[in-house]
Amino acid sequence: MKRNDNELTPEEFTGRYVRKSSLSYRILRAILTPIAWLLYRPVFHGKEKIPAEGPVLLCANHRSAADPAFICMSTPRVVHYLAARELFDKIVGFFFRLALCIPVDRKVHTGNPMFAAKTVLSRNEVIGIFPEGKRNYSRDILLPFKFGAVSLARETGAAVVPSAIVGRFIPFISRIHVYYGDPYTIPADADMEKENEKLRQIILDLYISHAVHDPRLPR
């Protein structure tokens, strides 16, 4: 009988979700890219700031199920996204496996997803993560940030690349813009509270400076 993820050792969990072949990811990206272009006509600003090599953490705000697609379209590199465990249990769970996503169980906290993410970064690859921890349905521009992103960056030395996804997500009508900030690293002795707030402020500033029509912004 196949054991569930929470019964696996970190190494077993990583072996299940972190594969060496990226073929399925690249096929999915090739299929989804024209669909995303048709629906939202995304424009990428500063995508050249994403390092072409070395470990990278791509961190963005999260308001739509399409957000990961926009980030993945920004770079030819393979992006391993941390995704909610429940998505893997739905009928479309195979999609997230083919996309090389790493499941995170928000109800049962184990070190397996972080171990897997560190393994990806140790291979000089890319992790995609939404520091808010879930989609933002509130009227706040950003939810409070979880510590996963800054913790991974501090422990691995990976470059943090902040970004803001801006737009109204009305298919065929609105246009989505993705703005990238400058990459930076977090020292091993950094204060996590300060670094978490720093990352949140950078993404917030990116968003506010470009989302001029967002009704949630102060006038």
How many whole angstroms separate alpha carbon 107 and alpha carbon 170? 32
pLDDT at 219: 40
- Does a structural domain hold residue 204? yes
Closest CA to 47 of 72, 29, 80, 30: 72
State the CATH number of the domain containing residue 47.
3.40.1130.10
Closest CA to 177 of 168, 167, 187, 186: 167
Query: pLDDT tens digit string along 134-183?
Result: 999 998 999 999 999 999 999 999 999 999 999 989 999 989 999 999 99
Spatial contact of 153 and 185, defined as CB atoms under 8 Å apart: yes
- Does a structural domain hold residue 90? yes
- Does a structural domain hold residue 124? yes
pLDDT at 218: 46
Q: Is the sign of the CA dihedral 71, 77, 80, 82 positive or negative?
A: negative
- Does a structural domain hold residue 218? no
Residues 6+ apart with CB under 8 A from 209: 179
Please provide the average confidence, as pLDDT, over all residues in the chain: 92
Which structural domain, as residue segments, surrounds residue 184? 5-210
- Does a structural domain hold residue 215? no
- Does a structural domain hold residue 63? yes
How many whole angstroms separate alpha carbon 110 and alpha carbon 148? 13
Residues 6+ apart with CB under 8 A from 218: none
Stretch among 69-73, 75-79, 105-109 having the lowest mean pLDDT: 105-109
pLDDT at 72: 96
Residues 6+ apart with CB under 8 A from 175: 40, 41, 42, 43, 167
- Does a structural domain hold residue 101? yes
pLDDT at 216: 56
Query: pLDDT tens digit string along 85-102?
Result: 888 888 888 899 999 999
> How many domains are contained in the chain?
1
Q: Which pTM was predicted?
A: 0.93
Residue with tokens 């978490």: 196
Q: How many CB atoms lie within 10 A of CB 43?
A: 14
Q: How many CB atoms lie within 10 A of CB 16?
A: 17
